[in-house]
Each structure stands twice: as C-alpha cells, then as structure tokens.
Amino acid sequence: MSSSEQSCFTHVRDGLPSMVDVSGKGSNKRTAVAEVRVELGAEIIARFENKDLQGPKGPVLQTAIIAGTMAVKKTSDLIPFCHPLPVEHCGFEIIPDESGVVIRCEVTTTGKTGVEMEAMTGVSVAALTVYDMCKGVNKGIRIQNLHLVSKTGGKSGDYLAKP
C-alpha cells in the first residue's frame, strides 16, 4: 500500500489496523446527525395512532429511542477503533409516513474526536429494534438508506449531505 493510499484510511498504520491518536488534538464541540429509513408496510403503518405504535412486544417507537440511546453510549464497545466519548446530548426524532418511518439521531460532545459513529450506531440499533418489535406482523420490513446527514466541529470541518 502506498503512502498516499494509506493516508486515505485513518485507522490503518503501516498496513495494520490502528486507533487514531487524538492526544495532540484540542477539544471542541462536535455534533453529528444520522438517519435511516424503515419500510414497515401498510399493515404496520395502519396500527399507528397519534404517532404511537403499539406492537405485540410493547411501545415500538419509545423502545426504539431507548435502545438507540443505549447504543450511542456503547458505541466504543461495539466498534473496535472508536474512542469512548462523553456524550453530552443524544436526541431522536421518528417521522412516520405512509409506508414507514425515518429515524434521526443527533449526538453532541465536547471532545477531541467526532460523534459520527455514535449517531450512526444509534439509528442502526433503533431501526433494528423497530424491526424486532414488528417482525411478527411483517417479516418483509426493510431497513434502508443509513447515512450521515451532517457533522460539525473538528479538523475536517463541517459536513452536510447532499439531498
């Protein structure tokens, strides 16, 4: 691997996986927003009432928010080279429409590294929780379009996904 190829991958040093050294970085406020779409199907959407989906296992959306929040806080335990971060804010928004829901997670910290992976992990686990709680009604649920919406702070600057 050439040095130019190696520089593209922040978690590879001398051809081996490596945690990024953030000891020389300064702390600043960092925020990331990620989202994912869960296609539920008409039968499940028909069960929504006032944005509250009660499934056989309980309140689906509330449980997804709790699971997603727990995942945000455990990201460094799940992703090998993520630094453990003090999460200062974690918020979820779940937006239902005619065929599913969009789950959005915003995470904020003041630290030496960003919270993109925390936001991505949060929406992933929230979506998996929705699937788990609704699979008895429809096993054809699809989790789609997991992506980073935006990030602020840090050396690489701000990022906003193109629509």
Confidence (pLDDT) at 46: 80
**SS3 of residue 116 by DSSP:** helix
Fold entry, domain 42-160: Alpha-Beta Plaits (3.30.70)
Q: Would you place residue 92 in the very low, low, confident or very high pLDDT band (cuts 50, 70, 90)?
A: very high
Q: What are the beta bridge partners of residue 31?
A: 108, 152
In 27-99, at which residue ranges do the beta strands (DSSP E only) sit?
A: 28-39, 54-55, 58-59, 89-96
Distances (CA, A) of 149 to 23, 89, 98, 160: 27, 17, 22, 6
Model-wide pTM > 0.75? yes
Better-predicted residue by pLDDT, 151 or 24: 151
Q: Which residues are catalytic?
A: 132
Q: 105-128, pLDDT tens digit by residue?
A: 999 999 888 899 999 999 999 999
Domain boundaries, the chain: 42-160
The per-residue pLDDT for range 1-25, each reduced to its tens digit, is: 344 444 576 666 777 777 777 777 7
End-to-end, the C-alpha distance of the chain in Å comes to: 34
